[in-house]
């Protein structure tokens, strides 16, 4: 029974890893960044989303997620940073960016 469970767990893990490998690099960074956001590591998430943007400057999701992470750590001090990211996400037509612009009081 243990062999069956272990085999099943291994099969699921390998499937998850292979699914990540098939994704473009910026999407892999995004998955890692979202994981860090969920863990509360906002600065780590900012770094990973920045890598996604460096890999693909037109990846709206990375700008959106980085803006969200920056808003969690900046307390208004670096408000311009996350507002600029949100403006770029709006330009790239991210579906939720305009809502976050309003919520965080960023002016376009």
Measure CA of the first residue to CA of the last residue in the chain; give whole Å.
60
Query: How many residues can be counted in the chain?
Result: 108
Residue 26 domain-assigned? Answer: yes
Residue 19 domain-assigned? Answer: yes
Residue 49 domain-assigned? Answer: yes
Number of domains in the chain: 1
What confidence tens digit (pLDDT) does each residue in 79-107 have?
557 889 999 999 999 999 999 999 888 87
Residue 108 domain-assigned? Answer: no
* Closest CA relative to residue 94, chosen from 64, 57, 52, 53: 64
| Cβ proximity of 49 and 69 under 8 Å | yes
Tokens for 32?
């890692």
What confidence tens digit (pLDDT) does each residue in 70-79 have?
988 876 555 5
**Residue numbers of the domain that contains 92:** 2-103
What confidence tens digit (pLDDT) does each residue in 7-36 have?
665 555 555 555 556 789 999 999 999 999
């Amino acid at each position: 029974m243990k062999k069956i469970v272990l085999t099943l767990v291994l099969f699921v893990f390998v499937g998850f890893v292979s699914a990540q490998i098939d994704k473009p690099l910026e999407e892999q960074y995004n998955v890692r960044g979202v994981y860090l956001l969920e863990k509360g590591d906002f600065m780590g998430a900012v770094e990973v989303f920045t890598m996604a943007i460096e890999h693909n400057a037109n990846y709206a999701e990375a700008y959106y997620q980085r803006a969200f992470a920056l808003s969690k750590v900046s307390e208004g001090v670096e408000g311009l940073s996350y507002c600029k990211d949100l403006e770029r996400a709006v330009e790239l037509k991210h579906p939720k960016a305009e809502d976050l612009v309003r919520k965080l009081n960023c002016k376009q």
